[in-house]
Amino acid sequence: MMMRAPRVFHIGECGVHHKKTNCESTTVIAKVQNVLKSARSNLYPSQLTLMVASVSKKTKLRKGNGGWGDVRDHELCLNVTLAAEPLMPPSGLL
C-alpha cells in the first residue's frame, strides 16, 4: 500500500534543531488546516482499489550513516575491546 500524502504533520517551530525567535505555531497550523480541508474528500475512502504497478520503482539500498545502528561500529567496538593482548596492564597492577 502506498500513501499519496501524509496524514501527520510537524507543527513545531522551535526546538532542538530550530532557533527561531518567533515560536508561534499558528501560521503552520493554519497551513495544515487548509491542506486537510482541501484533501478532506480523499482522507477516508469508502473503498480501496487494488492496482498493479506496470513499472516497478527501483529502491536504493539504504547506506548506514554512522551511529550505533551501523554494523561497522559494532565491528569496530569488538575489534577494540577484544584485543588478543592487552596493550597496558590495568593501573592497579603496576
- Read out DSSP for 34-47? HHHHHHHHHHS-SS
C-alpha to C-alpha distances, 92 to 52, 70, 82, 87, 89, nearest whole angstrom: 69, 35, 20, 15, 8
Check the annotation: does 10 bind a ligand. yes
Find out whether 70 and 64 touch, Cβ atoms under 8 Å: yes
Known binding residues are 10
Known binding residues for Mn(2+) are 10
